[in-house]
Amino acid sequence: MVQNIINVKNLSKSFDISSKEPGLKGTIKHFFRRQTKSLKVIKDISFEIKEGEIVGFLGANGAGKTTILKMLCGLIYPSEGSILVSGYLPFRRKENFLKNITLIMGQKQQLIWDLPPIESFYLNASIYDLDKFEAKKRIKKLSEMIEIDEELYIPVRKLSLGQRMKSELLAALIHEPNILFLDEPTLGLDINAQRNLRKFLQKYNKETNATICLTSHYMKDITSLCKRVICVHEGAISYDGKLDLLLKKLSPVKEILIVCRSEEDAIKLENSGFTVKNKIKNEITIKIENNSITSSLKTILNNFDIEDLFINEPPVDEVIGKVLIKKDYDI
Protein backbone atom coordinates (compact mmCIF):
# COMPACT_ATOMS: atom_id res chain seq x y z
CA MET A 1 0.00 0.00 0.00
CA VAL A 2 1.29 3.44 -0.93
CA GLN A 3 2.05 5.57 2.12
CA ASN A 4 0.93 9.15 2.65
CA ILE A 5 3.99 11.36 2.43
CA ILE A 6 2.16 14.61 3.20
CA ASN A 7 -0.47 14.94 5.91
CA VAL A 8 -2.16 18.27 6.44
CA LYS A 9 -4.82 18.68 9.10
CA ASN A 10 -6.89 21.78 9.89
CA LEU A 11 -4.16 24.05 8.60
CA SER A 12 -4.64 27.82 8.77
CA LYS A 13 -2.38 30.78 8.16
CA SER A 14 -2.98 34.40 9.03
CA PHE A 15 -0.90 37.43 8.08
CA ASP A 16 -0.93 40.83 9.73
CA ILE A 17 -1.64 43.34 7.03
CA SER A 18 -1.38 47.10 7.54
CA SER A 19 -3.69 49.31 5.56
CA LYS A 20 -3.34 52.96 4.63
CA GLU A 21 -5.90 55.46 3.42
CA PRO A 22 -4.94 57.38 0.29
CA GLY A 23 -3.66 60.96 0.31
CA LEU A 24 -1.60 63.09 2.69
CA LYS A 25 -4.09 62.75 5.54
CA GLY A 26 -3.94 59.00 5.23
CA THR A 27 -0.13 59.08 5.14
CA ILE A 28 0.10 61.19 8.31
CA LYS A 29 -2.48 59.02 10.07
CA HIS A 30 -0.56 55.93 8.96
CA PHE A 31 2.70 57.40 10.30
CA PHE A 32 1.33 58.01 13.80
CA ARG A 33 -1.11 55.17 14.10
CA ARG A 34 -0.71 52.07 12.00
CA GLN A 35 -3.81 50.06 11.48
CA THR A 36 -3.11 46.40 11.10
CA LYS A 37 -5.55 43.62 10.73
CA SER A 38 -5.10 39.91 10.73
CA LEU A 39 -6.01 38.35 7.42
CA LYS A 40 -6.68 34.61 7.36
CA VAL A 41 -5.32 33.50 4.00
CA ILE A 42 -5.56 29.75 4.58
CA LYS A 43 -8.67 28.51 6.31
CA ASP A 44 -8.71 25.18 8.06
CA ILE A 45 -7.64 22.94 5.20
CA SER A 46 -6.90 19.22 5.37
CA PHE A 47 -5.57 16.81 2.76
CA GLU A 48 -3.14 13.94 2.25
CA ILE A 49 -0.77 13.25 -0.59
CA LYS A 50 0.61 9.81 -1.36
CA GLU A 51 4.21 9.02 -2.22
CA GLY A 52 4.84 9.37 -5.96
CA GLU A 53 1.67 11.40 -6.60
CA ILE A 54 1.68 14.51 -8.76
CA VAL A 55 -0.86 16.95 -7.40
CA GLY A 56 -1.81 20.25 -8.97
CA PHE A 57 -2.97 23.16 -6.84
CA LEU A 58 -5.43 25.31 -8.72
CA GLY A 59 -6.80 28.66 -7.76
CA ALA A 60 -7.10 32.29 -8.75
CA ASN A 61 -4.37 34.80 -7.89
CA GLY A 62 -4.26 35.27 -4.12
CA ALA A 63 -6.29 32.12 -3.44
CA GLY A 64 -3.53 30.75 -1.21
CA LYS A 65 -1.85 28.07 -3.37
CA THR A 66 1.67 29.44 -2.95
CA THR A 67 1.15 29.98 0.78
CA ILE A 68 0.22 26.30 1.10
CA LEU A 69 3.39 25.26 -0.77
CA LYS A 70 5.50 27.59 1.38
CA MET A 71 4.11 25.99 4.53
CA LEU A 72 4.61 22.48 3.15
CA CYS A 73 8.28 23.13 2.48
CA GLY A 74 8.83 24.86 5.83
CA LEU A 75 9.43 28.33 4.52
CA ILE A 76 6.67 29.88 6.56
CA TYR A 77 5.24 28.99 9.91
CA PRO A 78 1.60 27.86 10.09
CA SER A 79 -0.75 29.74 12.41
CA GLU A 80 -2.89 26.74 13.29
CA GLY A 81 -3.17 23.06 12.46
CA SER A 82 -0.57 20.45 11.68
CA ILE A 83 1.62 19.51 8.73
CA LEU A 84 3.69 16.38 8.48
CA VAL A 85 5.89 16.00 5.41
CA SER A 86 7.89 12.82 5.11
CA GLY A 87 7.48 12.39 8.86
CA TYR A 88 8.86 15.85 9.69
CA LEU A 89 7.35 19.12 10.88
CA PRO A 90 8.47 21.29 7.95
CA PHE A 91 8.92 24.60 9.80
CA ARG A 92 11.54 23.03 12.06
CA ARG A 93 13.68 22.70 8.92
CA LYS A 94 15.62 19.68 10.14
CA GLU A 95 18.60 18.82 7.97
CA ASN A 96 17.22 15.42 6.90
CA PHE A 97 13.92 17.00 5.92
CA LEU A 98 15.62 19.72 3.89
CA LYS A 99 17.71 17.11 2.10
CA ASN A 100 14.49 15.42 1.04
CA ILE A 101 12.68 18.36 -0.52
CA THR A 102 13.12 21.15 -3.01
CA LEU A 103 11.17 24.27 -3.90
CA ILE A 104 11.28 25.80 -7.34
CA MET A 105 9.70 29.16 -7.87
CA GLY A 106 9.33 30.42 -11.41
CA GLN A 107 11.41 33.55 -12.06
CA LYS A 108 13.06 33.34 -8.64
CA GLN A 109 16.61 32.29 -8.76
CA GLN A 110 19.17 30.79 -6.49
CA LEU A 111 21.96 30.64 -9.06
CA ILE A 112 24.86 33.06 -8.63
CA TRP A 113 24.20 35.73 -11.24
CA ASP A 114 27.76 36.47 -12.35
CA LEU A 115 29.10 32.93 -12.41
CA PRO A 116 28.34 29.99 -14.71
CA PRO A 117 25.64 27.62 -13.35
CA ILE A 118 28.20 24.85 -12.86
CA GLU A 119 29.69 26.84 -9.93
CA SER A 120 26.29 27.00 -8.23
CA PHE A 121 25.77 23.28 -8.85
CA TYR A 122 29.02 22.36 -7.11
CA LEU A 123 28.18 24.75 -4.30
CA ASN A 124 24.76 23.15 -3.83
CA ALA A 125 26.37 19.72 -4.02
CA SER A 126 28.64 20.57 -1.12
CA ILE A 127 25.76 22.10 0.86
CA TYR A 128 23.94 18.78 0.46
CA ASP A 129 27.10 16.86 1.45
CA LEU A 130 27.73 15.27 -1.93
CA ASP A 131 31.34 14.53 -2.78
CA LYS A 132 32.81 15.84 -6.00
CA PHE A 133 32.57 12.52 -7.82
CA GLU A 134 28.91 12.05 -6.95
CA ALA A 135 28.16 15.69 -7.80
CA LYS A 136 29.79 15.29 -11.20
CA LYS A 137 27.78 12.14 -11.88
CA ARG A 138 24.49 13.79 -10.94
CA ILE A 139 25.22 16.95 -12.91
CA LYS A 140 25.95 14.81 -15.98
CA LYS A 141 22.79 12.75 -15.52
CA LEU A 142 20.50 15.71 -14.86
CA SER A 143 21.98 17.88 -17.61
CA GLU A 144 21.30 15.05 -20.06
CA MET A 145 17.72 14.74 -18.80
CA ILE A 146 17.15 18.50 -18.90
CA GLU A 147 19.11 18.84 -22.12
CA ILE A 148 21.63 21.50 -21.18
CA ASP A 149 25.30 21.30 -21.97
CA GLU A 150 27.29 24.36 -23.04
CA GLU A 151 25.07 26.61 -20.95
CA LEU A 152 26.65 25.12 -17.83
CA TYR A 153 29.79 27.15 -18.45
CA ILE A 154 28.22 30.50 -19.41
CA PRO A 155 27.58 33.14 -16.72
CA VAL A 156 23.96 33.02 -15.60
CA ARG A 157 23.37 36.66 -16.53
CA LYS A 158 24.04 35.76 -20.18
CA LEU A 159 21.58 32.85 -20.35
CA SER A 160 18.08 33.08 -21.78
CA LEU A 161 15.11 32.65 -19.44
CA GLY A 162 14.55 29.07 -20.63
CA GLN A 163 18.22 28.15 -20.16
CA ARG A 164 18.20 29.78 -16.74
CA MET A 165 15.08 27.89 -15.71
CA LYS A 166 16.67 24.61 -16.76
CA SER A 167 19.76 25.48 -14.73
CA GLU A 168 17.60 26.44 -11.75
CA LEU A 169 15.92 23.08 -12.01
CA LEU A 170 19.23 21.27 -12.06
CA ALA A 171 20.46 23.26 -9.04
CA ALA A 172 17.26 22.43 -7.18
CA LEU A 173 17.42 18.72 -7.99
CA ILE A 174 21.09 17.95 -7.53
CA HIS A 175 20.40 16.38 -4.13
CA GLU A 176 17.72 14.14 -5.72
CA PRO A 177 14.85 15.20 -3.48
CA ASN A 178 11.85 12.92 -2.93
CA ILE A 179 9.39 15.78 -2.76
CA LEU A 180 9.27 18.62 -5.26
CA PHE A 181 7.32 21.81 -4.59
CA LEU A 182 6.95 23.68 -7.85
CA ASP A 183 5.41 27.13 -7.84
CA GLU A 184 4.67 28.27 -11.39
CA PRO A 185 7.72 26.48 -12.80
CA THR A 186 6.89 27.31 -16.43
CA LEU A 187 6.18 31.00 -15.85
CA GLY A 188 7.57 33.06 -18.71
CA LEU A 189 8.86 30.09 -20.69
CA ASP A 190 8.07 29.64 -24.38
CA ILE A 191 5.87 26.74 -25.53
CA ASN A 192 8.79 24.42 -26.37
CA ALA A 193 10.56 25.12 -23.09
CA GLN A 194 7.30 24.49 -21.22
CA ARG A 195 6.81 21.18 -23.01
CA ASN A 196 10.40 20.10 -22.29
CA LEU A 197 10.05 20.98 -18.63
CA ARG A 198 6.84 18.96 -18.37
CA LYS A 199 8.50 16.02 -20.13
CA PHE A 200 11.39 16.23 -17.71
CA LEU A 201 9.11 16.31 -14.66
CA GLN A 202 7.21 13.27 -15.91
CA LYS A 203 10.48 11.43 -16.44
CA TYR A 204 11.82 12.44 -13.04
CA ASN A 205 8.62 11.29 -11.35
CA LYS A 206 8.71 7.98 -13.21
CA GLU A 207 12.39 7.30 -12.51
CA THR A 208 12.52 8.38 -8.87
CA ASN A 209 8.89 8.02 -7.73
CA ALA A 210 9.17 11.56 -6.39
CA THR A 211 6.07 13.31 -5.08
CA ILE A 212 5.34 16.55 -6.90
CA CYS A 213 3.15 19.41 -5.70
CA LEU A 214 2.61 21.93 -8.43
CA THR A 215 0.91 25.25 -8.92
CA SER A 216 0.53 26.72 -12.36
CA HIS A 217 -1.69 29.05 -14.29
CA TYR A 218 -0.89 27.15 -17.48
CA MET A 219 -3.58 24.48 -17.70
CA LYS A 220 -1.40 22.38 -19.96
CA ASP A 221 1.01 21.91 -17.01
CA ILE A 222 -1.83 20.64 -14.88
CA THR A 223 -3.54 18.45 -17.48
CA SER A 224 -0.37 16.77 -18.70
CA LEU A 225 1.18 16.19 -15.28
CA CYS A 226 -1.52 15.86 -12.65
CA LYS A 227 -4.12 13.18 -12.22
CA ARG A 228 -5.27 14.82 -9.01
CA VAL A 229 -5.98 18.47 -8.35
CA ILE A 230 -6.69 20.46 -5.24
CA CYS A 231 -8.69 23.60 -5.99
CA VAL A 232 -8.19 26.47 -3.57
CA HIS A 233 -10.73 29.25 -3.31
CA GLU A 234 -10.16 32.13 -0.90
CA GLY A 235 -7.93 30.00 1.29
CA ALA A 236 -10.22 26.99 1.50
CA ILE A 237 -10.27 23.79 -0.52
CA SER A 238 -13.17 23.81 -2.97
CA TYR A 239 -12.32 20.51 -4.67
CA ASP A 240 -9.86 17.70 -4.02
CA GLY A 241 -9.96 14.77 -6.41
CA LYS A 242 -9.31 13.46 -9.90
CA LEU A 243 -8.89 16.04 -12.62
CA ASP A 244 -10.91 14.10 -15.22
CA LEU A 245 -13.84 13.80 -12.80
CA LEU A 246 -13.75 17.51 -12.25
CA LEU A 247 -13.68 18.18 -15.99
CA LYS A 248 -16.61 15.82 -16.55
CA LYS A 249 -18.57 17.45 -13.78
CA LEU A 250 -17.86 20.94 -15.00
CA SER A 251 -18.39 20.15 -18.62
CA PRO A 252 -21.07 17.45 -18.93
CA VAL A 253 -21.74 18.09 -22.63
CA LYS A 254 -19.63 17.98 -25.78
CA GLU A 255 -20.14 20.14 -28.84
CA ILE A 256 -20.34 18.35 -32.20
CA LEU A 257 -20.01 20.17 -35.47
CA ILE A 258 -21.82 18.26 -38.22
CA VAL A 259 -21.35 19.08 -41.90
CA CYS A 260 -24.43 17.79 -43.80
CA ARG A 261 -24.42 17.02 -47.56
CA SER A 262 -27.23 19.55 -48.11
CA GLU A 263 -28.92 22.38 -46.27
CA GLU A 264 -32.15 20.37 -46.24
CA ASP A 265 -30.42 17.67 -44.18
CA ALA A 266 -29.18 20.34 -41.79
CA ILE A 267 -32.74 21.67 -41.37
CA LYS A 268 -34.01 18.12 -40.77
CA LEU A 269 -31.34 17.58 -38.14
CA GLU A 270 -32.14 20.93 -36.52
CA ASN A 271 -35.73 19.80 -36.02
CA SER A 272 -34.93 16.29 -34.82
CA GLY A 273 -34.82 17.08 -31.10
CA PHE A 274 -31.09 17.66 -30.47
CA THR A 275 -29.94 20.77 -28.60
CA VAL A 276 -28.66 23.06 -31.34
CA LYS A 277 -26.05 25.65 -30.58
CA ASN A 278 -25.99 27.23 -34.03
CA LYS A 279 -26.55 26.52 -37.70
CA ILE A 280 -24.89 28.08 -40.73
CA LYS A 281 -26.08 26.73 -44.07
CA ASN A 282 -25.27 23.01 -44.09
CA GLU A 283 -23.12 23.17 -40.91
CA ILE A 284 -24.81 22.61 -37.61
CA THR A 285 -23.38 22.51 -34.07
CA ILE A 286 -25.24 20.44 -31.51
CA LYS A 287 -24.64 19.72 -27.82
CA ILE A 288 -24.70 16.11 -26.59
CA GLU A 289 -24.32 14.86 -23.05
CA ASN A 290 -21.11 12.92 -22.44
CA ASN A 291 -22.95 9.73 -21.46
CA SER A 292 -25.02 9.55 -24.63
CA ILE A 293 -22.44 10.43 -27.25
CA THR A 294 -22.13 6.97 -28.82
CA SER A 295 -25.87 6.37 -29.17
CA SER A 296 -26.55 9.89 -30.42
CA LEU A 297 -23.83 9.69 -33.06
CA LYS A 298 -25.17 6.31 -34.21
CA THR A 299 -28.66 7.84 -34.66
CA ILE A 300 -27.27 10.82 -36.59
CA LEU A 301 -25.10 8.71 -38.89
CA ASN A 302 -27.97 6.27 -39.62
CA ASN A 303 -30.64 8.88 -40.29
CA PHE A 304 -28.87 11.79 -41.97
CA ASP A 305 -26.58 12.25 -44.93
CA ILE A 306 -23.42 13.44 -43.23
CA GLU A 307 -20.31 14.69 -45.02
CA ASP A 308 -18.09 15.23 -41.97
CA LEU A 309 -18.24 15.72 -38.22
CA PHE A 310 -15.98 17.11 -35.49
CA ILE A 311 -16.20 16.52 -31.74
CA ASN A 312 -15.01 19.57 -29.82
CA GLU A 313 -13.74 19.26 -26.27
CA PRO A 314 -14.46 22.47 -24.37
CA PRO A 315 -11.18 24.36 -23.68
CA VAL A 316 -9.74 23.19 -20.35
CA ASP A 317 -8.86 26.78 -19.42
CA GLU A 318 -12.50 27.73 -19.76
CA VAL A 319 -13.65 24.79 -17.68
CA ILE A 320 -11.07 25.24 -14.96
CA GLY A 321 -11.82 28.95 -14.95
CA LYS A 322 -15.18 28.06 -13.46
CA VAL A 323 -13.45 26.36 -10.52
CA LEU A 324 -11.47 29.44 -9.69
CA ILE A 325 -14.56 31.49 -9.00
CA LYS A 326 -16.70 28.89 -7.29
CA LYS A 327 -16.53 28.03 -3.63
CA ASP A 328 -17.42 24.39 -3.54
CA TYR A 329 -17.47 21.44 -5.92
CA ASP A 330 -19.08 18.43 -4.41
CA ILE A 331 -18.36 15.46 -6.63
Residues that bind other proteins (CB under 8 A): 15, 70, 73-77, 91, 93, 95, 98-99, 101-103, 105, 108-110, 112, 114-115, 119-120, 122-124, 126-129, 172
Q: Of the two residues 90 and 229, which places its CB atom closer to other proteins in the complex? A: 90
Q: Of the two residues 158 and 322, which places its CB atom closer to other proteins in the complex? A: 158
Q: Would you say 51 and 2 are in contact if contact means Cβ atoms under 8 Å apart?
A: yes
Q: Of the two residues 119 and 234, which places its CB atom closer to other proteins in the complex? A: 119
Minimum gap (Å) between residue 190 Cβ and other proteins: 23
Minimum gap (Å) between residue 98 Cβ and other proteins: 4
Minimum gap (Å) between residue 255 Cβ and other proteins: 41
Minimum gap (Å) between residue 300 Cβ and other proteins: 54
Q: Of the two residues 110 and 224, which places its CB atom closer to other proteins in the complex? A: 110
Minimum gap (Å) between residue 211 Cβ and other proteins: 16
Q: Of the two residues 59 and 260, which places its CB atom closer to other proteins in the complex? A: 59
Minimum gap (Å) between residue 76 Cβ and other proteins: 6
Q: Of the two residues 102 and 238, which places its CB atom closer to other proteins in the complex? A: 102
